[in-house]
Amino acid sequence: MRRSLLAVLIAAMVFVIYYFGLFNSIGTNEGTVISIFSTLTVISISLIIFSENRNPSTTMSWILLLALLPVVGLPLYFLFGQNVFKRRKYDKKALRDQQAYDRIEKDAMHVKRDLTCFTDEQQRLMRLARRLARSPIYFAAETQILNNGDETFSTLLAELRKAEHHIHMEYYIFRSDDIGTSIQEILIEKAKAGVKVRFMYDAVGSIQLSKTFLKEMRDAGVEVVAYGGARILFFSSRVNYRNHRKIVVIDGNIGLIGGLNVGDEYLSRNKAYGFWRDTHMVVKGEAVRTLQLIFLQDWLHMTGESVLDKEYLSPKIEPITDGGVQIIASGPDNERRVLKNLFFSMITSARKSVWIATPYFIPDEDILTALRMAALSGLDVRILFPAKPDKWLPFLASHSYFQTLLEVGVKVYEYEKGFLHSKLLIIDGEVATIGTANMDMRSFHLNFEVNALLIRTHSVQQMVADYERDLQSASLIVREEFMKKRLFKRLMESLARLLSPLL
């Protein structure tokens, strides 16, 4: 069906171009020809979008944009709206990922674990995450929360210096500034000492990374790969599917994930942002296997090099016990919308509280309804959000969702100490997820993300304490005051919300 519609579109374009001279000969001006061409194109693309059975809000947003602003909508659709590339490119990756997860699941110690110490709802979440993401449940694991850039980068640098066998590193944003150079120097030193170093960066997120910086690493023996390709074109649909993951695995027994990229601004050195509030996490023990697998599958996807060797996936790991831990990957290669559905299930399973921290709040109707129902049921529902933006359009769109939540008793706080970039969801003070995914549609549908699901671990208790401390640096939005905003600002927020499925 889709191919037929594409053929219709191409035929229409050829028809207009072929008869362009005929239109001129009978007195039809160029404006009329362009108008006919645009109309045929918009109609054809609209039919294609309808045929894909997308989310209704996304469908209507594209249709409205194409109909009202075709000059803007057409190039945006060809850049961001097409799903052909996604399906073609990621079907094989999904199959390889499934086979690899089957391999590590056989070795997971969770198989023999008695789950009766967890509630029925907690067990259900574990099973759901396992089926959605093929993610084993680990109990021989330990996690440690790292607050902000100082703790995160001091820990990262210290662990990198200890590396003896390999370093695997994957970042969305990696800058060649002071902290980036400090990490680069260690990677170069380790590569020269015989440690296997693989470094992957996103071609769009790290577009400012200098060629000289990368060449210095390659010359020292570091294997460097750009996710999406080093020469990614911004008029290509590839630009829309970004690798938003932040993964470091060292010697197969320690890993780091969370919200922090690599750059001086994450150390609060950028005056525009001021203090940068963020959360990262150290993972030790068995759960590192899944983190390792995610990196190796991304590496295979970009390089064609399979390194799923026993030395990387079966290292000697001390049996550590600290609740339940699952490392969960999500991306456009998995049609199950893993993290979106996990977030939804966590919210609907809550019995006491739902606490969220996110720099961008652009939920779909499922998440929005789940939060409203939780609040109407008498649960303590809180959202911690930055008081100042780093990107204006998502910031405005996020504010457009607050009114409907404030009306049912959701407490929305604005973090005022600096810029909040933490990405947390805490349920009942016992279950939490932390990682790279924002509470927005881009993380749900377009980005490659990685989160950890933590159930009754010490880290969850630390996250609860940190959240309560952050609230002391935040102000509660009062519904009556929120409704007094100027008409122009309301209109801007509404427009941003209309475009939010496209963000």
Q: Which pLDDT does position 115 carry in this prediction?
A: 75
The string of pLDDT tens digits covering residues 65-91 is 666 656 555 565 555 555 544 555 555
The token duo for 297 is 């599958």
Q: Which pLDDT does position 241 carry in this prediction?
A: 82
423 is catalytic: yes
Q: Which pLDDT does position 99 carry in this prediction?
A: 56
Straight-line distance from the first to the last Cα atom of the chain, in angstroms, rounded to the nearest whole number: 27
Q: What is the C-alpha separation between 43 and 223, in angstroms, rounded?
A: 47
Q: Is the distance from CB of 154 to CB of 184 less than 8 angstroms?
A: no
Average pLDDT over residues 215-244: 80
Q: Cα separations (Å) of 46 from 33, 151, 241, 503?
A: 20, 49, 22, 19
3-state SS of 335-380 is CCCHHHHHHHHHHHHCCCEEEEECCCEECCHHHHHHHHHHHHCCCE
Report residue 61's pLDDT band, with 50, 70 and 90 as the boundaries.
Answer: low
- Which member of 86, 110, 190, 244 is catalytic? 244
3-state SS of 263-284 is CHHHHCCCCCCCEEECEEEEEE
246 is catalytic: yes
Domains of the chain: residue spans and CATH: 2-85 (no CATH), 88-110+144-319 (3.30.870.10), 338-502 (3.30.870.10)
**Nearest Cα to 267, choosing from 420, 418, 149, 417?**
149
- Which member of 86, 190, 399, 421 is catalytic? 421
The string of pLDDT tens digits covering residues 472-484 is 999 999 998 888 8
- Which member of 110, 168, 246, 280 is catalytic? 246
The string of pLDDT tens digits covering residues 4-23 is 445 445 445 544 544 444 44
244 is catalytic: yes
Q: Which pLDDT does position 134 carry in this prediction?
A: 87
- Which member of 251, 298, 333, 364 is catalytic? 251
- Helix, strand or coil for residue 395? helix
| Better pLDDT: 356 or 230 | 356
Range with the poorest average pLDDT among 110-114, 155-159, 181-185, 270-274: 110-114
The string of pLDDT tens digits covering residues 311-360 is 677 666 666 667 899 999 999 888 889 999 999 999 999 999 999 999 99
Q: Is the distance from CB of 206 to CB of 171 less than 8 angstroms?
A: yes
Q: What is the C-alpha separation between 460 and 271, in angstroms, rounded?
A: 32
How far is CA 70 from its chain centroid?
Answer: 29
Q: Which pLDDT does position 110 carry in this prediction?
A: 43
How far is CA 149 from its chain centroid?
Answer: 19
Position 405 pLDDT exceeds 70: yes
The token duo for 42 is 């918009």
User: What H or E segment, with its residue span, contains residue 424?
Assistant: strand 424-427
Report residue 230's pLDDT band, with 50, 70 and 90 as the boundaries.
Answer: low
Q: What is the C-alpha separation between 252 and 196, in angstroms, rounded?
A: 12
The token duo for 134 is 């093929």
- Which member of 428, 440, 466, 470 is catalytic? 428
Q: What is the C-alpha separation between 313 and 207, in angstroms, rounded?
A: 31
Q: Which pLDDT does position 141 carry in this prediction?
A: 84
| Better pLDDT: 67 or 425 | 425
Per-chain mean pLDDT for the chain: 84
251 is catalytic: yes
- Which member of 423, 445, 466, 470 is catalytic? 423
